[in-house]
Structure 1
């Protein structure tokens, strides 16, 4: 018979790609994780992971078991969460991923408030600007800004944010202020590398796409903001990155006669995760911390 601790060791080893890393995640000795994994394989009569000195590789049996093992762990956690919620408390692990820039600027105080209100929760927050798949990445929930468009996920809206076209006063003094979408074609732009190198503006019922010359493409909004502050070019950034700089005049918001595509914030999690009480509580706490409208739009 499969034991839950063996399933947990298996999933952690796959997620972390090594038994050593899995042992750190679980807070157990490496030998304990290795034995629990071996015991699971003995109980099933199959090899789940091929071990070598260089890497671990899932066997076909391991690939077949993995999604079911994840579901078992989620359901066990949800059952414990529901019991905790019914008794008036929330407790246990909660693993969250969020973008680096937004997390650096806005999540610290918000997460502290949430954990102060729910001291039994043990959160692991990972900041990552690469695409994180909330359905298979091993996270309970992923914070994203922008469209979701993934039927496997539930998306809870946290806050709205506009994308603003900005530049430094020095850049505009040197290159002029664009007044229309067509003007943007002759300007330089600092572009976000993890999405198509286009700027999208709402025109009528559709979108107008602008492709500026790009002296810099980077996968981090804070670096984009700093490049705009240094006069490297125009940047199209969410308001939560530049609200302070616009207020103090370090950056100027540019009106080209059409609004840019928005950047709403969502908390996403897999559909088979259910309406876990901890995720709901986190979402409600973040919404209170950000405000409606959020403080970066005030």
Structure 2
């Protein structure tokens, strides 16, 4: 008879693409995961992975088995969690993805009290600014800033988010303060490369005419964008949850060009067609309460 831990290990290896990565996620040694895979393949009488020195890839049998094995593992996890929930407990694994800067600055500090209150929850939090596929990558939910256009996801608003153009007082003293949309074209800018310069869109502006300041630096991390602005390298467009402290201290100054930046939000999204767990719903309510409305990073000092 097949063992559930072997099936679960197979699913994680298939999702992660390597035994080493799967072992880290499962908190097991590579040898244990390899042994479970070998035992599973022996029990099935089939080879599930093509193995090379660089990567693993599913065989035809492996791909066919994965479709049902994933459902089996999720069903068992949900059944265990539901039994605990019937006793008023929140328990079981939960896997989330979140942006790097928001995760470090706000999500982590808000989550720690929740996890301390519910020690039976086993959380895996992966910080990554790329747009992960929640269902295909095996996440229970993703937390994102901006617009989620994946129609396969059920989206819950978590907190408001306002983006503003900022610069250091030193930069504005040297280069002058832009007063209008037209003035922006004469300035240097620090861009978020995952969105590009076309991201600088404003309420009331024509969609066909995005503002295009000159790029002096492109980065894929909000912390470094803030630091580059503090160093006086140019204007940048950032959410207040990254720069609220610098705005309060005056280290960065908001630049008003006569139009408001298109508003955004911070969302939690989970795969559609999949019932949200009680622990996910409880976590969302906890985070909403911790962040507040308006969130603390948008309140006056």
TM-score by length of 1: 0.93
Q: Is the 8 A contact 1:201 1:207 kept in 2?
A: no
Instruction: Provide the rounded CA distance (Å) in 2 between the counterparts of 1:221 and 1:279.
Output: 27
Tell me how far apart the structure 2 counterparts of residues 38 and 267 of structure 1 sit (CA, whole Å): 37
Correspondence for 1:165: 165
Equivalent residue number for residue 276 of structure 2: 275
Mapped contact 2:145–2:266 kept (Cα < 8 A): yes
Q: What corresponds to 1:16 in structure 2? A: 16
2:248 aligned partner: 247
Q: Which moved more, 1:45-54 or 1:173-182?
A: 45-54
Distance 1:238 1:207, change over 3 A: farther
The answer to whether the 8 A contact 1:3-1:40 is kept is: yes
- Separation in structure 1 between the aligned mates of residue 88 and residue 112 of structure 2, nearest angstrom: 20
Distance in 1, Cα, partners of 2:297 & 2:208: 25
For 1:178 and 1:23, the matched residues in 2 are separated by 53
Counterpart contact for 2:9–2:37, Cα < 8 Å: yes
C-alpha separation in 2, matches of 1:28 and 1:173: 56
Deviation at 1:124, TM superposition (A): 1.8
Q: Check whether the contact 2:142–2:269 (CA below 8 A) recurs between aligned residues.
A: yes
Q: What is the CA RMSD across the aligned residues, in angstroms? A: 2.0
Unpaired segments of 5 or more residues in structure 1?
A: none
Which residue matches 1:237? 238
Instruction: Give the conservation status (yes or no) of the 8 Å contact 1:114–1:285.
Output: yes
CA shift, 1:73, in A, is 2.1
Distance 2:220 2:8 in 1: 33
Contact in 2 for aligned 1:192/1:219 (Cα 8 Å): yes
* Farther-moved stretch of structure 1 (237-246 vs 66-75): 66-75
Q: For residue 155 of structure 1, what is the aligned residue in structure 2? A: 155
Q: Deviations over 1:87-107 (max 9, x none)?
A: 111112222221111112112
1:55 aligns with 2:58: no
Note if contact 1:141-1:267 (Cα within 8 Å) is conserved in structure 2.
yes
Residues 45-77 of structure 1: CA deviation (Å, up to 9, x unaligned): 432111233321211222233343323222222
Name the residue aligned to 1:196.
Answer: 196
Query: 1:206-245 to 2 correspondence within 5 Å?
Result: 209-245=210-246
Does the 8 A contact of 1:101 with 1:222 survive in 2?
Answer: yes
Give the CA deviation at 1:224: 0.4
Spell out the pairing of 1:27-46 with structure 2 (5 A cutoff): 27-46=27-46
Tell me how far apart the structure 2 counterparts of residues 76 and 57 of structure 1 sit (CA, whole Å): 25
Distance 1:179 1:116 in 2: 49
Structure-2 separation of matches of 1:29 and 1:252: 50
Query: 1:30–1:250: structure 2 CA closer, same or farther, 3 Å change rule?
Result: closer
CA contact (8 A) 1:75 1:273 kept: no
Give the TM-score normalised by the residue count of structure 2: 0.92
Task: Tell me, yes or no, if the aligned pair for 1:161 and 1:239 is still in contact at 8 Å.
Answer: yes
CA–CA distance in structure 2, aligned partners of residues 204 and 35 of structure 1: 60
Secondary structure of 2:136's partner?
Answer: coil
Q: Which residue of 1 is the match for residue 183 of structure 2?
A: 183
